[in-house]
């Protein structure tokens, strides 16, 4: 086919439409294949469904990963702030022991309460350890003491409070466990 300077076809066949116009019958086979048109349409439909399912799975995976990342970041921040809370609790204990003015002591207790409420609002709670059996997932043993009353392997004292966020241990509780009856 030759073209003129203004890019219009000069050949008569070039003016015919390449696709059938509406209302005209369509060949029963896909162009360039031996496959019937219905089979081609069905294959494309299935491919489309697979792509949509893959994308949906991708979107769900990214949402899970984002949530995991947010939980991890929250736990890391809590790990960094917990020593501040420990020191605040020590300050309250010392102020109470030394008979510090009641208003100061009450102020320290209020700040500690706010700190604990902020942690609780983020799902971070202290781990209860006293009177419980040693659990290596939640406890870190720093010492053992003989005890006639408490059986071997049970927590008798808490050295440093532990915290968890749901099922995740943010910081293990440091505890003293019983080594059992010294006479046995």
Summarize pLDDT for 154-176 with one digit per residue, the tens.
999 999 999 999 989 999 999 99
Looking at the fold, whether 53 and 133 belong to one and the same domain comes out as no
**pLDDT score, position 101:** 87
* 160 contacts 173 by C-beta, under 8 angstroms: yes
Looking at the fold, whether 42 and 103 belong to one and the same domain comes out as yes
Residue 144 falls inside a structural domain: yes
Give the domain CATH number at 98: 3.90.20
Q: Show the tokens assigned to 10.
A: 């000069």
pLDDT digits (tens, 9 = 90+) for 79-118: 999 999 999 999 999 988 888 888 888 999 999 999 999 9
Residue 129 falls inside a structural domain: yes
Residue 29 falls inside a structural domain: no
pLDDT digits (tens, 9 = 90+) for 118-140: 999 999 999 999 989 999 999 99
Looking at the fold, whether 76 and 92 belong to one and the same domain comes out as yes
Give the structural domain span for 80.
Answer: 34-122
Q: Which of 149, 153, 163 is nearest to 76 (CA)?
A: 163
* Domain end residue (candidates: 83, 100, 122): 122
Looking at the fold, whether 104 and 162 belong to one and the same domain comes out as no
End-to-end CA distance of the chain, in Å? Answer: 107
* Domain end residue (candidates: 104, 122, 140): 122
**pLDDT score, position 123:** 94
Residue 27 falls inside a structural domain: no
Query: Is pTM, for the whole model, over 0.85?
Result: no
For strands 139-145 and 173-178, give the pairing.
Answer: parallel
Q: Domain count of the chain?
A: 2
**pLDDT score, position 147:** 87
pLDDT of 2 > 70? The answer is no
Looking at the fold, whether 131 and 111 belong to one and the same domain comes out as no
**pLDDT score, position 9:** 52
**pLDDT score, position 36:** 85
Q: How far is CA 38 from CA 18, 35, 51, in A?
A: 20, 8, 20
pLDDT digits (tens, 9 = 90+) for 49-81: 999 999 999 999 999 999 999 999 999 999 999
Q: How far is CA 17 from CA 10, 80, 94, 142, 162, in A?
A: 15, 71, 93, 86, 77
* Domain end residue (candidates: 97, 122, 147): 122
């Amino acid at each position: 086919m030759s073209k003129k300077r203004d890019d219009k076809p000069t050949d008569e066949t070039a003016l015919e439409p390449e696709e059938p116009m509406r209302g005209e019958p369509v060949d029963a086979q896909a162009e360039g294949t031996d496959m019937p048109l219905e089979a081609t349409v069905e294959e494309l439909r299935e491919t489309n469904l697979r792509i949509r399912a893959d994308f949906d799975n991708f979107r769900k995976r990214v949402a899970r990963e984002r949530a995991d990342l947010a939980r991890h970041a929250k736990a890391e921040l809590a790990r960094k702030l917990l020593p501040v809370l420990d020191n605040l609790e020590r300050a309250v204990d010392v102020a109470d022991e030394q008979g510090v003015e009641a208003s100061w002591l009450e102020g320290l207790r209020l700040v500690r309460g706010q700190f604990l409420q902020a942690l609780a609002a983020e799902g971070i709670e202290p781990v209860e350890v006293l009177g419980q059996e040693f659990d290596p997932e939640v406890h870190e043993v720093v010492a053992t003491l003989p005890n006639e009353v408490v059986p071997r392997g049970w927590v008798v004292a808490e050295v440093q409070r532990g915290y968890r966020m749901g099922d995740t241990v943010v910081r293990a509780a440091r505890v003293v466990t019983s080594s059992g009856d010294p006479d046995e």
